[in-house]
Amino acid sequence: MSDAKKLYIKTYGCQMNVYDSERMAEMLGASGYQETSTPDDADMILLNTCHIREKAAEKIYSELGRFKGLKAENPDLKIGVAGCVAQAEGQEIIRRQPMVDLVVGPQSYHRLGELEARAGNGVKALDTDFPEEDKFDHLASRPKARRGPTAFLTVQEGCDKFCAFCVVPYTRGAEVSRTPSRLLDEAQGLVERGVREITLLGQNVNAYHGDGDTLAGLIGKLAQIDGLERIRYTTSHPNDMQDDLISAHAECDKLMPYLHLPVQSGSDKILKAMNRKHTGDEYLRLVEKIRAACPDLLLSGDFIVGFPGETDADFEQTMDLIRAVGYGQAYSFKYSPRPGTPAAEKSHVEDAVKVERLARLQDLLTSQQRAAQQAMVGREVSVLFEKTGRLDGQLIGKSQHLHAVHVVSPASNIGSVRRVRITDSQTNSLTGELIG
């Protein structure tokens, strides 16, 4: 279709935004848009944004500034802001960057086609509703074209936990789970298009409760799809880690031995101030229980340093918890006050202190990640090959523990799971050789 309009989408933030961007591209596909990889000759630019920390949100305004020239050259160019900044800031975005034509929140992007048609030539279209209807019932049907071996699938959205630092309950709204029958249909469709691994997404994915099914129940049903070889899920809250999900890690071969289970802090005082509703010890006991069910599990986490009121002693308790757990992978952040959240009202830890704590914490996490990777050397793992590597004849895939693995292999192995012996560990990846 040579007369198709060109759509440039840039995605920030979490994996759910990656999924939403796919669905938005499909919505706009129905309005005659085809995706392009550069903003330069686009007819529409859409930024799918993240509001989790201040830096992420502010980046959007500088990014928009860069499109000023393009808009001057092509006044028909439509510029849209979607995602969590759109939800949180709404009209304010158009006030700060008047060249923006369209603002759409994460719960109303099924109306994108209509908004796009209305926007432009000075008309602004804004929709940041939390509508009654379920957007998934109104999205464009998914295309049949072949796609890569891995995919995200949103099963649950929103959060009712209200951690004191977090904007998600405000930007994504209350917890909602999609029905298992719809999800099974969507997963089946993905597998028919070549997908072999599905990562189930939710801001609080293990709180999933679609039609009375738990996440473990849903995983059990998905595991019956022929051709689907691997299932993952993220992000989980410790308080929703139910026994049936723990057992699934022992019993379901397709469920990968990897768990992202954020704790945020190791200090009970800070956990309480964060409204996490569990203690450090409870988290440690939970980890023990999960590891008893699945000894080979690789644990990942999120940490915040410099939350209001965090003393040196509190921070040391976080370091102790990290030492006690032993993470294979983790994300860590300086606390960033977010407007409208309870913690933003508290007095803040000095930035220099946050910087120093973050550096120490990241050193520890990096050494644990290295050790976890090093422990793989000599082991046999299974790798789902995803794409060609930079070196001739090399493919890149992911092990069951989500390690990136480089292997010399025929390209025909892309999309297949193969046995691989790990021979070496680099900074952020492993090298291996095919077995047999």
Summarize as ranges the residues that interact with ligand 5AD (CB under 6 A): 52-53, 165-166, 262, 264, 302, 304, 333, 335-336, 338
Based on the shown chain and the rule CB under 6 A, indicate whether residue 163 belongs to the binding site for ligand SF4.
Answer: yes
Based on the shown chain and the rule CB under 6 A, indicate whether residue 169 belongs to the binding site for ligand SF4.
Answer: yes
* Burial state string for 213-231 with b = 16 or more CB within 10 A and e = fewer than 16: bbbbbbbbebbebeebbbb
> Encoding tokens for residue 124?
């602004």
Q: Alpha-carbon distance 259 to 234, whole Å? A: 8
Angle between helices 280-293 and 312-325 (to 10 degrees): 10
Indicate the residue among 11 and 234 with the shorter CB distance to ligand SF4. Answer: 234
Our CA angle for 96, 338, 361, nearest 5°, is 125
Closest separation in Å from C-beta 237 to ligand SF4: 5
Indicate the residue among 239 and 431 with the shorter CB distance to ligand 5AD. Answer: 239
Sheet of 150-154: strands edge to edge?
150-154, 197-201, 230-234
**Please, are residues 391 and 415 in contact by the beta-carbon 8 Å criterion?**
no
Q: Which does 109 bind (CB under 5 to 8 A by kind): ligand 5AD, ligand SF4, none?
A: none
# binding residues, ligand SF4 (CB under 6 A): 10
Indicate the residue among 53 and 249 with the shorter CB distance to ligand 5AD. Answer: 53
- State the binding string over 186-225 for ligand SF4 (x if CB under 6 A, else -): -----------------xx---------------------
* Cβ within 8 Å of residue 20, ≥6 positions away: 48, 82, 83, 106, 109, 154
Indicate the residue among 9 and 52 with the shorter CB distance to ligand 5AD. Answer: 52
**Please, are residues 176 and 211 in contact by the beta-carbon 8 Å criterion?**
no
253, 279, 254: which is closest to 268 by C-alpha?
279
**Please, are residues 25 and 143 in contact by the beta-carbon 8 Å criterion?**
no
Q: Which does 204 bind (CB under 5 to 8 A by kind): ligand SF4, ligand 5AD, none?
A: ligand SF4
Q: Which of 125, 159, 270, 381 binds ligand SF4 (CB under 6 A)?
A: 159
Based on the shown chain and the rule CB under 6 A, indicate whether residue 64 belongs to the binding site for ligand SF4.
Answer: no
Q: Which does 338 bind (CB under 5 to 8 A by kind): ligand SF4, ligand 5AD, none?
A: ligand 5AD
Q: Alpha-carbon distance 384 to 419, whole Å? A: 9
Indicate the residue among 16 and 46 with the shorter CB distance to ligand 5AD. Answer: 16
**Please, are residues 205 and 234 in contact by the beta-carbon 8 Å criterion?**
yes
Q: Which of residues 225-254 bind ligand SF4 (CB under 6 A)?
A: 237
Indicate the residue among 207 and 396 with the shorter CB distance to ligand SF4. Answer: 207
Applying CB under 6 A, the residues found at the interface with ligand SF4 are 159, 161-163, 166, 168-169, 203-204, 237
